[in-house]
Structure 1
Amino acid sequence: MADIPNQNPQKHTLLADVQGFLFGTTMASFSLVLLTHLGMVTGQTAGLAVLLSYVTGYGFGPIFFVVNLPFYWLAIKRMGWVFTAKTFAAIAVMSLMTELLPDYVSFDAVNPVVGAVLVGMLSGMALLALFRHGASLGGVGILALYLQDKTGFRAGYTQLLFDVCVFAAAFFVIDVPLVLYSLLGAVVLNLNIAVNHRKDWYIAS
């Protein structure tokens, strides 16, 4: 039976926005802590920041915050001030939480396949929560939408090309099996977003 679009989606309340923001940033942070514990990588700017953290020895959080800085002016032009402010806040909170969480969470034995799937699921839930409440985790997605507006080049292709570069670079930084497990997690993440992110179901205030 075909999906019936919601003809009267409701705007979120302030309380709902705060809850969604905290849930999204917390789950995203936890998924990155698990990901880096497993020595894996992910796509987009988060993946670039993970690779740079492996190479340099600096923490993921500060690198992730800095890597996203060039994209904010694009976010203002493409998405407006409110979206950009929420995105900046989400990135700042996630950068901080990924530095703090390892002091409170530890892992013993995690099967890499199960871990990759869990990372993909957690990241997907986190991004969905942020998308539905008018925020994101910045980066390449914003650039992709900007280039699509300016040149007509599909945003999905830009994101795909960036991810190909990140995972290609990963082969020089981490072991091949870990790259393959990481790809599994990325597939789970993107399937989660593709199936569940529907603009006709929600309106982010």
Structure 2
Amino acid sequence: MQRNQTTDHSLTDDIQGLSLGIFLCGLGIHLLTSVGLITGQTAGLAVIIAYLTGYSFGVVFFAINLPFYFLAYKRLGAEFTIKSLISVSLLSVVTELLPFGFVVQALNPALGAVMFGSLVGLGLLAMFRHNGSLGGLGVIALLIQDTTGFKAGWVQLITDGVIFAVALLLFPATVVVYSLLGAVVLNLIITFNHRRDRYIAI
């Protein structure tokens, strides 16, 4: 596939882009957990483990990402790995701090799911465009897209299907259905808007 646009990013560009992405993702996850829903991907695994163990999402999310950094470094390079490590660390901090300044007292679960999917989808797009990610299974999805052309969004949607099938054994069906809505919104945003041949950060 021919690449038709390249974009050079300065350090300032990367800082603002990744910071915006981290904040949007943190806000979306805060809304999701506030209404008692779950999600897919590595964040979904972290949310499930946090619910089951009582540990905070931030701590679990940071720990569960550690094994993926080696793969990211070997296949996607040092810059991507460093940016992803910093992003995951900062997202863990953001999700720990948001409840102190933003308390959700009333939110319809379906609306919360759509808001989550929209915010995190946009946040991930911002991070992808600055050669970063939130690590974990997202690294696998980007790697598959770059090597085979199979869309990262579809990879994530398939993975989410497996995670939600397992979640049906642990959570009420209504929680899983609303959560799946959020995951679909998120992955469709990535599928329709993230293409390396349209926007390339070097």
Is TM > 0.5 for Structure 1 vs Structure 2?
yes
Partner of 2:78: 81
Q: Which runs of 5+ in 2 are unaligned?
A: none
Larger of the two Rg values belongs to structure = 1
Counterpart of 2:126 (choices 125, 129, 141) is 129
Report how far residue 156 of structure 1 moved: 6.9
Q: CA deviation at 1:130?
A: 0.3
- Alignment partner of 2:39 out of 34, 38, 42: 42
Give 1:108's match in structure 2, choosing from 105, 109, 116. 105
| One of 162, 178, 195 as aligned partner of 1:198 | 195
Does the 8 Å CA contact 2:28/2:120 hold for their aligned counterparts?
A: yes
TM-score normalised to structure 2 length: 0.89
The yes-or-no answer on 1:165 pairing with 2:162 is: yes
1:23 aligns with 2:33: no
How much has 1:138 moved relative to structure 2? 0.7
One of 33, 51, 55 as aligned partner of 2:30: 33
Which of these residues, 55, 60, 64, is aligned with residue 52 of structure 2? 55
User: Structure 1, residues 5-37: CA drift from partner, whole Å, max 9, x if none?
Assistant: 983432122211111011000111111111111
| CA displacement at 1:159 relative to structure 2 | 4.1
**TM-score, structure 1 normalization:** 0.88
Shift of 1:52: 0.2
Picking from 169, 178, 181, the partner of 2:178 is 181
Q: Could you tell me which residue of structure 1 aligns to residue 96 of structure 2?
A: 99
Partner of residue 141, structure 1: 138
TM-superposed deviation, 1:173: 2.7
Find the partner of 2:4 among 2, 7, 10.
7
Give the letter aligned to residue 101 of structure 1: L
Q: Pick closer, same or farther for the CA change 1:6–1:82 going to 2, 3 Å.
A: closer
Q: How many residues align?
A: 201
How far is 1:141 from its partner?
2.9
Deviations for 1:136-189, whole angstroms, at most 9, x for unmatched residues? 011113245667999xx9977764553233212222332211110111111111
| 2:42–2:64 contact (8 Å) kept in structure 1 | yes
Q: Would the aligned equivalents of 2:153 and 2:187 in 1 still touch at CA under 8 Å?
A: no
C-alpha distance after superposition, 1:49-86 (max 9, x if no partner): 00000000110000000000001110011101110000
Residue 125 and residue 145 in structure 1: after superposition, are their counterparts in 2 closer, same or farther (change >3 A)? closer
- Aligned partners of 2:127, 2:38: CA distance in 1, in Å? 21
The alpha carbon displacement at 1:197 in A equals 0.9
Change in CA separation of 1:156 and 1:106 when aligned onto 2, cut-off 3 Å:
closer
**Residues in 2 aligned to 1:145 and 1:15: alpha-carbon distance in whole angstroms:** 24
Against the structure 1 CA distance between its residues 184 and 161, is the aligned structure 2 distance closer, same or farther, given a 3 Å change threshold? Answer: closer
Q: Matched residues in 2 for 1:147 and 1:9: separation?
A: 21
Query: How high is the sequence identity, in percent, across the aligned residues?
Result: 50
